[in-house]
Amino acid sequence: MTKDSKKHGHAKDGVSQKRKTHDEHIDDDIVVQDFKDTFKSEGEHLVKTVFPQKIIELEEIHKPATKKRKHEHTVQGTEVLALPNGPCPINKKLCEISEQLKPYIRDLIDHSNTIKMWISFLIPKIEDGNNFGVSIQEETLGEARQVESEAATYLDQISRYFISRGKLVSKVAKYPHLDDYRQSVRELDEKEYFSLRLTSAELRNHYASLHDLIMKNFEKILKPRNANAEALY
């Protein structure tokens, strides 16, 4: 094989390698664009369909909580000390409410994150002027971030309640003659009940406020530049 033919072969290999790399980049771009498009379609679906459903469901959960509740006194001094029936039971009513709310808390975290990404992908490239619609997008984006952050604290609040209650029950077991510890368990249960009731209202309100803000500015969020330009004429 001559030197010229070797050079020609290397050149062809280089061209084919570049073409392969170029095709791979195109494939990556398509995958990324599909990823963005998925968020865009899912974001609109959440706002128009899922958010109203969640508001109604959470309102139904919150309404029964307004009725007068009989408080459970699961801790009874020497019985806890001796533990004749095995483990000291948890407050079943509060546990049921917590388990009912947890899926809604997780959904709100996921949904607010999706809304955040949806709006981020709709923000146009940075340009001078004509940024009124972009400012609305950024304000809505900030609201979604705040909702996501606050929703995450609700899960932490539930776990902290069980830790605190466990410590108080252990005190009752150790000092069964002190009524203050028994009363503190009842007070903690009462506090957690109202806290969970407030959580159900806050979950509903977060969905409602996000839905209201987005729907009022829906066109400006989808097309920030065009919406501002049309408003000028």
> pLDDT of 141-186, one tens digit each?
999 999 999 999 999 999 999 999 999 988 888 888 888 988 999 9
Is residue 157 within 8 A of residue 175, CB to CB? The reply is: no
Is residue 124 within 8 A of residue 219, CB to CB? The reply is: no
Report the first-to-last Cα separation within the chain, whole angstroms. 73
Q: What is the pLDDT of residue 172?
A: 85
Q: Which residue has the higher pLDDT, 197 or 36?
A: 197
Q: Which residue has the higher pLDDT, 139 or 32?
A: 139
Q: Widest CA span of the chain, in angstroms?
A: 102
Distance of alpha carbon 24 from the chain centroid = 35
Dump pLDDT digits (tens) for 53-63. 999 999 999 88
How far apart CA 76 and CA 97 sit, in angstroms, is 23
Dump pLDDT digits (tens) for 122-140. 888 877 666 788 889 999 9
- How much is the average pLDDT of 75-96? 64
Output the six-digit token pair for 12: 């062809």
